[in-house]
């Protein structure tokens, strides 16, 4: 199995992006669903979970659509044997969901 680019286009309506991601998830024998828990601030970045064919979470916490796309890319690379598949997970999208340094109190 080769890792391919996850089909997501930010210009598409949310429904169409989710549909494309669900199709890609099916190809990897996993599925996207809504979180089954109350969101935890600082841990959950969005309302979606990615589960593998056995029902285990591919990523432990809730993700936004961009996070699901990123998780699918990483999961595909992991299935292809890439030991560094998750190295840059969240690099492109997570900063939008984290508080700015000035907002974090020590």
Q: Provide the pLDDT for residue 97.
A: 74
Going from N- to C-terminal start, the domains of the chain cover 14-103
Other residues' Cβ atoms within 10 Å of the Cβ of residue 94: 15
Q: Choose among 45, 73, 42, 38: nearest CA to 58.
A: 73
Average pLDDT, the chain: 84
SS (H, E, C) 21-41: HHHHHHHCCEEEEECCCCCCC
- Among residues 83, 36, 76, which one has the least CA distance to residue 56? 36
Pairing of strands 30-34, 48-52: antiparallel
Checking if the pLDDT of 66 tops 80, the result is: yes
Looking at residue 70, the DSSP 8-state letter turns out to be H
Task: Give the mean pLDDT of 35-52.
Answer: 90
pTM for this predicted structure:
0.80
């Amino acid at each position: 199995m080769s890792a391919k680019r996850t089909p997501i286009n930010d210009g598409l309506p949310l429904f169409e992006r989710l549909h494309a991601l669900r199709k890609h998830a099916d190809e990897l024998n996993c599925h996207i669903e809504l979180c089954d828990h109350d969101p935890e601030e600082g841990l959950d970045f969005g309302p979606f979970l990615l589960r593998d064919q056995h029902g285990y979470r591919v990523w432990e916490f809730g993700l936004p659509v961009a996070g699901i796309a990123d998780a699918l890319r990483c999961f595909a690379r992991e299935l292809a044997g890439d030991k560094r598949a998750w190295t840059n997970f969240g690099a492109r999208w997570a900063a939008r969901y984290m508080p700015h340094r000035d907002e974090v109190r020590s």
